[in-house]
Structure 1
Amino acid sequence: MAQGQGFGFGLGKMKELATAIQKAQQVQEGAKKLQEDLEKMEIEGVAGGGAVKVIMSGTQEPRRVEISADILSEGAEVLSDLVTAAMKDAYVKSTTTMREQMEELTGGLTVPGLS
């Protein structure tokens, strides 16, 4: 190794690394806040034209199920299918919301040498 060259990190690279570390710390702080926000969110999945609703948090924690009295006469199998469809709808909406917010939070994060 030539004298004065260190490990291949010039001053510019060190500044990039410091900036990336700072951004990573901001992302970590933002992730904590995002987790809290997602836990408080209520995301609704629906089926049967709104006859069945499943509400879950942004972290996919089930909160409640609402079933219209009108749909009860359709029988257990139909009701089961509608609850399942509403659960899937809520899950997709919840995971999409989480992914979009994480992408927004981490946007622009690059680590020198890894991009």
Structure 2
Amino acid sequence: MSQGQGFGFGLGKMKELAEAFKKAQQVQEGAKKLQEELEEMEIEGEAQGGLVKVVLSGNQEPIRVVISPDVLTEGSEVVSDLVTAAMKDAYRKSTEMMREKMEELTGGLNLPGL
């Protein structure tokens, strides 16, 4: 490297780098806020027209399961299948919601893997 050439990029590149760091910091702050919001959210999945409901937090932690007494007469295998279907519904909804929130958070940054 000859003297006076620096790192191979001029002040324009430094400005771009500073902007990138600023955006990254904004995303980090937004991610922290989003994490707090997710902890407080409740996302409901259901099966059989709402006869079985599963509620997850925005972080996909189970909160509760609600089973209608009408379903209990169907037998354990049916109840198990309906609980599983409601869990899958809640998981799908929470995953979609997280994806949307992350797109809002990182909008326009074109981050790989998101």
Settle same-fold status: TM greater than 0.5: yes
CA distance in 2, matches of 1:109, 1:4: 33
Matching residue of 1:83: 83
> 1:5 Cα deviation (Å)?
2.0
User: Which has the higher relative contact order, 1 or 2, with Cα contacts under 8 A spaced 6 or more apart?
Assistant: 1
Partner of 2:51: 51
Unaligned runs of 5+ in 1: none
Identity %: 77
Q: Secondary structure at the match of 1:5?
A: coil
Matches within 5 A, 1:1-115: 1-109=1-109
TM-score by length of 1: 0.91
Taking the aligned partners of 1:5 and 1:62, their CA distance within structure 2 comes to 57
Query: 1:46-89: CA deviations, max 9, x gaps?
Result: 00111000000111010000011111111100000000000000
TM-score (ref. length: structure 2):
0.92
SS at match of 1:74: coil
Cα distance in 2 for partners of 1:15, 1:2 equals: 23
Q: Output the amino acid matched with 1:62.
A: P
Structure 2: segments with no counterpart, 5+ residues: none
Deviates more, 1:102-111 or 1:70-79: 102-111
Aligned partner of 2:93: which letter?
K
User: Match of 1:65, as an amino acid?
Assistant: V
